[in-house]
Amino acid sequence: MIKVRGLKKTVSSDKIPVLRGIDFDLVRGEFVAIVGPSGSGKSMLLRCLALREKWDGGTFVVDETDVFKGGWSAKMKVRREWAYLQQNPDLDPNRTALKNVLIGQVGQTPAWRRLTGMVRTDDYMGAMDMLESLGLLDKAKNKSGTLSGGEKQRVATARALAHGANVLLADEPVIGLDPHTADSVLGMLKQLCEKEEKTVVAVLPIELAERHAHRIWGMDGGKIVLDIRGRRLTTAEKSRL
pLDDT score recorded for residue 184? 86
Q: Which residue segments constitute the domains of the chain, with CATH numbers given?
A: 2-239 (3.40.50.300)
What is the arithmetic mean of pLDDT over 64-88? 91
pLDDT score recorded for residue 121? 65
CB neighbours of residue 18 within 10 Å: 20
Element (H, E) at 20: strand 16-26
Helices 121-133 and 149-162: crossing angle, nearest 10°?
140
**Residue 231, SS3 per DSSP:** coil
pLDDT band for position 19 (50/70/90)? Answer: very high
* pLDDT tens-digit readout, 97-112: 999 998 864 445 555 4
* pLDDT tens-digit readout, 55-69: 999 999 999 999 999
| pTM confidence score | 0.87
Highest mean pLDDT among 12-21, 76-85, 120-129, 212-221: 212-221
What is the arithmetic mean of pLDDT over 119-130? 78
